[in-house]
Amino acid sequence: MRGPHNIWRLIRTGATLERTGAMEVVLDAFSAPRLVRIVLRGMVWPFRWLGIKGDVTMPPATRALTALGPAYIKFGQVLSTRPDVVGDELAIQLRVLQDKLPPFSIEQAKASVEAELELPVDEVFSEFGPPVAAASIAQVHRARLRGTGEDVAVKVLRPGIERAFRKDIDAFYFAAGMIEFLSPASRRLRPTDVITHFEGVVLGELDLRLESSSASEFAANTVGDAGFGLPEIQWMFSGRRVMTMSWVGGVPLGDNAAIDAAGHDRRVLGERVLQLFLNHALRDGFFHADMHQGNLKIAANGDIIAYDFGIMGHIDEYTRRVYAEILFGFIRKDYKRVAEVHFEAGYVPANRDVDEFARALRAVGEPIFGMDATQISMGRLLSYLFDVTERFGMETRTELILLQRTMVVVEGVARSLYPQINIWQVAKPIVEDYIKQSIGPRAVLRDLGKTAQVMARFGPRLPGLVEAALIRQATAGDPEPRPSRWAPLLWIGLGALTGAGGTIATLVFLG
C-alpha cells in the first residue's frame, strides 16, 4: 500500500513536528541555514493543526517521535547516542526513547505470554512483575520461573506492533520514491534500497525466535571475551512474540552518575565498548547492531552486559578485510592505500582519480588525528564526508548500512562515557591484530587450504565437468564431438590437486 495515500502520513509527520515544537528543536540541533528553516516551516505551518498532539509532559522532540510511531522512535534512538551531532540537551531528552517509553498493561503482556506459550502464566512463573523497561517494539518484565526459582527477564512484543511498523515503512517507501523522482541526483544514495534494508532489519526484530537464535550464536562467539557477558536464553519459554532469558542486574550504561557511584572507571568502559564492537565485527563478522545505552548495563564485577539482540549485523570475510584495511590505512595515515582499497572494492567508480580521492581522504583524517573527541566537530566532519561521497559518485552500500550505523552509535556511547576518548588509539591494537591474522602470509596459506577443501568436495564431479568443458571447446564449429587428447592428463592433475578422494575418483572414472 505505497500509493498517494501516504502523502497524508508525510504531511502529518511534518505537522506533528511543527505542532509539538520539535521542528525548531531539530533545525537548531543541526544548525540548519535560515533559508532551509523558512522553506520547511512555510511548507508545514498551514497543516500544523493536523499534527498529533502527543504527550505534553514530554520534551518536544521526544513527544513528536513517540507520537509518530515505532519507526520514528528507532531514528530517535540513533540520534540519542550522538550528543556531538545534536547537542547534549537533545541527546539526553532522546534517551527516553531507548527504554523508558510508556508501557502497555501487564494484563496485555500476560495474555500475549499465555497465547504464545499455550500455558497459563501462573503455571510457568511464580512471580510476574510490572514492566521494568519499555522500548519501541517490546517491553521487559522481571519474573521468576516456578520450576527452578530462577529470576528471568521476559520480553514481550507490543500488541499491534507489526501493523504499526508496516504503515510507517509504507510511508517511507513512498517518500523514497518521491525523492528519487524529484531529485535524480539522490539516486546514488539509493533511498528505496535503504528502506528495503531497514524493512528487513525490522521484520527480523518482530520475530523473537530469530532474536533468541541470534543471542545464542552471539554467546558462542563471545564466550572468551573478557569483561563481556550475555543473558542465557530459556528456549522452553520463548516463542515468536515472547522471549525469556536469565536476569542479569547492573547499572545502566547511560547513567554516568550511577556508574561513578558504583566505582567503575568510565574511561575503561568507553574503550572496552569500542574494542568489543570492533572485535565482534572483524573477528566474528557477527555483531550487536543496536548497541545504544538502553541495551547495555554494567554488572557489579565491571563486565559489560548486552541485551536486545533483535538487530544483529553480519559481514562476510572479504568485506571485513576491506573494512580493516580502510581503518588500518587511516591509523597509519596511508591515505593512498585507503583510496586504493575503496577502488578495489568498487566503492568508488573506476573512472575517478585515485590520487584525488586520496587527497580528499587526507582532508578528512588529518584534522582529527591527535585530537580527543571533545575537539572534533562531528557535524562538520559528517557534512564534509557527505560532500566527498557526492563528489566522487559513491553510492550507498546497503550491505554496509548496519556496520556504519553501529559504528556511529558505538562511538557515541564511548564518547558519552569518556568525552576525551581517541577512537584511533583505541582501535589500533584490534585492527592491527586482525590485519596480522587475516591479511598476512598465514592468511594466504589458510585461504589456499580452504580453497583446496572446497575443490576436494567437488573432486568426484571434476572429471565430468572438465570433459564437458573440453568437448564444448573442441566441438566449436565441429559437428562431431570428441574429447581432447589432453583431457585424461588434466583429469589426473586436477584430481591430485584436490586430494586423495578426487584422485581415486578420477582413476576409477578413467579405468
Give me the active site residues, please: 290
Q: At what angle do helices 161-182 and 191-205 cross, to 10 degrees?
A: 170
Q: What amino acid is encoded at 334 in this protein?
A: D
Name residue, grid cell 581432447.
Answer: 484
355 is written with which cell numbers? 590520487
Query: Alpha-carbon distance 459 to 415, whole Å?
Result: 53
DSSP-assigned states of every residue in 62-84 = HHHHHHH-HHHHHHHHHHHT-HH
CA 395, 397, 400, 401: dihedral to nearest 10 degrees?
80
Contacts of 109 (CB under 8 A, 6+ apart): 131, 139, 141, 154, 156
Neighbours of 270 (CB within 10 A): 25
Task: Please say whether the beta carbons of 307 and 231 come within 8 A.
Answer: yes
Closest among 373, 128, 163, 342 to 237, alpha carbons compared: 128
Closest among 139, 132, 141, 133 to 161, alpha carbons compared: 139
DSSP-assigned states of every residue in 218-253 = HHHHTTT-TTEE-PPB-GGG--SSEEEEE----EET
Cα 173 from chain centre: 20
3-state DSSP assignment of residue 499: coil
366 phi, psi to nearest 5 deg: -60, -40
CA angle 380, 386, 389 (to 5 degrees): 145
Task: Please say whether the beta carbons of 27 and 36 come within 8 A.
Answer: yes
Tell me the CA distances in angstroms from 504 to 265, 452, 494, 500, one per residue in order.
62, 16, 11, 6
Closest among 396, 510, 405 to 460, alpha carbons compared: 510
Name residue, grid cell 536469565.
Answer: 246
Neighbours of 249 (CB within 10 A): 10
